[in-house]
Structure 1
Amino acid sequence: MGSEFWVSGDLGCQGMGIPVGKLSLYTALGGVRPSACLPITIDVGTNNEQLLKDEFYIGLRQKRATGQEYAELLDEFMSAVKQNYGEKALIQFEDFANHNAFELLAKYRTTHLVFNDDIQGTASVVLAGLVAALKLVGGTLADHTFLFLGAGEAGTGIAELIALEISKKVSTHYNIYCLPFFSAELSDRLSDHFFGRHKAPVEETRKKIWLVDSKGLVVSSRKESLQHFKQPFAHEHEPAKELLDAVQAIKPTVLIGTSGVGKTFTKDVVEAMASFNEKPLILALSNPTSQSEVVQSLLVEAHLTPFEYNGKVFVPGQANNAYIFPGFGLGLIMSGTIRVHDDMLLAASEALAAHVTEENYEKGLIYPPFSNIRKISAHIAAKVATKAYELGLASHLPQPHDLVKYAESCMYSPVYRSYR
């Protein structure tokens, strides 16, 4: 598990608690055997003057390494992991700074089994919530327009996975109607054979998705000054400096907050969303709660407790990455997968969304309760493994007949000997 922890003021080597905590969740929620897990923090120094002057700080007392020195260290680490543990060693990147996170994922995803939870895990769990929410707001993902406040690794990662999911679901094709004596199934097969059935290009589906960063709406006129991961979402439009201006101009059906800036979904923004949407979908995803975009007094209290509105009790939920990554990792491990493919993330999202029940919907929930997480993780693992076998990326052969039961059989549960 890789972690270059650079949040909350640059904690240096004291960020070790993050990989330790993540691996605890892998075991508790996904059943990954703890003896197969190794928490790692890559100490490249710290720019935190308080830590550098602290006599009890145990990390490297130097400024953070950057540039070629940093790249060479990461390359040496990645090569060593592969050399010592093989193709099937899963490396999870966590809490890397934006500029490093995207570059490292792009560099190593074709040569190693790597997964970035901040980019891919967050995207998968949010996509699951959106897919589930369609039963409440109606339509398909392609029918909706998405506006993000925040265009970092979380925001752009979610946006890209939404675009990919829409691309997979929307196809352009021709049907053979001139041969009525063919069955519908045969007609579809002939249509595919002669005319082709193609998914919509991701470049097109991205046009349903807009971003707002610290300088305002991300538009094509700003493209040259944008970081590379924002550029695919820089569409033709007049600039808009403030979020409210962007909401009124774009008229999104879905508003998603990944900015890390608290209380930015103001009353005016929420009312604007409600003015042109019968059922606006608003997801305030930044944490901790104090940094959540939502103004709690407008919607729900901060303590995530049930509340009553118009005589009906609603239960606030949380789009937590822990819904996805433990089961996702289990699916990779139990199938012996050698590379992570985006289709596996989509499969994980759909598996999670499928566990939202009518009873959950009645309470306004778009995620299932965590009390069922081990069962959910087993189903996510099975769907991820299924996709790995379909793509020819699984090495544990032959494929088990019942992957859900196989996942459950692979899950570690602590059993202690009784001494009484």
Structure 2
Amino acid sequence: MRYRSSWMTLLGAALAALIVSACGGGGGGSGGASSTANSANSGNSTASSSSPTVTNTSPAPQVLAANAVRVTVDSGVSNVPNMPFVSITICAPGTSDCQTIDHVLVDTGSWGVRVFASQLPASMNLPQQKDGAGNLVAECMQFFDGYTWGAVKLADLRIAGETAASLPVQVIDPNYASLPADCAAVGASRNTPAALQANGILGIGVFKHDCGGNCVQQAIPATYYGCGASGCTSIPLAENYQVANPVPYFTTDNNGSVLSLPTVNGGAPSVSGQLVFGIGTQSNNALGNAQVIGVSPSNGTFTTVQNGTTYSHSILDSGSTGLFFQTSSMQACASPNSAYYCPGSTQQLSAMIEGVNGVTSAVTFGVANATSVAQTYNGDAALPLLAGPAFVTSAVFDWGLPFFYGRNVYAAIEQQGTPGGTGPYVAY
């Protein structure tokens, strides 16, 4: 279950165009021996459930601590709704040669930093990552319907008051080396901000590296490459050379993160919240009464049961612009809007989330007619009632950004200790 991310388009019936993106899932995690043997444990060691309303309140967005950065859901790069953005600063390692990049997607469903070469000054010298054999490392990052391609380079990442030094990042560049055929065969190129619908990705999910143990022992096609004068060849790659989640490489506040967004009713032109680093490390990231949902240490998933259907590969994914799951209880919209559901009236639904640690949590959510939403809230960036069947298999329930509105959502990183136990887990 590697790189379950994608982008898609929804054309509103009465609109010229409303582009909707879905960046789901992420990589296969660290897997195997590199993951913790036990899932997260919480104070609620027996099954528990939440009330229909959200009980924990988002911090006031105007008060930003040193471990917090503003998150904005706005029109972004391509007028795509339900995309949370932050600004990050990329620096040549150990120098003050830096570039701040705005509208970088906050993605709890993937891990690793990805920026475009076109967003960096030509004069900035980021050393390219080399593996143990001296190969220049490049990556094909796979999504549902496409890929990003580029060199893996080392950079100091600065965000809020946190720094990850000499972090391996993907610098997306369609002109780097010669694109391998197996990468091109993945699907559409997402090698420009317009195609990606963001200026980069800040992948801060529950794993440390974007392929982890899956890539250590064998070369996986359309993943990592060693590049030279004769082209680029698939290679295995040790975890310390792989594109990395920056959070565990911060000096402090490095065991996870909290994404806090306000409640949205119907729609809003934009909303502002916070991304807070650390779990239980500062007064602004206490776990409180959040329910800890243990996730698989190999792929980061848990179980959702909805309307009698069990979705065994479920994720909490801020990079998805809707709730994505397959059901026969609602009709998809007519083409070209078939990526989304179009019920006759707004549906109030419920589901049970079940963690691998045995904790259960009841969740209520709404699904509106996507075509009507596109008409009624034309131009709004925050749309909490979007859901659809697109890009997911029958086993997947993708709890995208609508789930995050009005909640504090925690992502605890594998092998890192927290007040809720050792990651990986999610909590809310």
TM-score normalized with structure 1 length: 0.23
Question: Greater helix share, 1 or 2?
Answer: 1
Work out which of the two has the higher radius of gyration on C-alpha atoms and give 1 or 2.
Answer: 1
TM-score normalized with structure 2 length: 0.23
* Higher RCO, Cα 8 Å, sep 6+: 2
Question: Greater strand share, 1 or 2?
Answer: 2
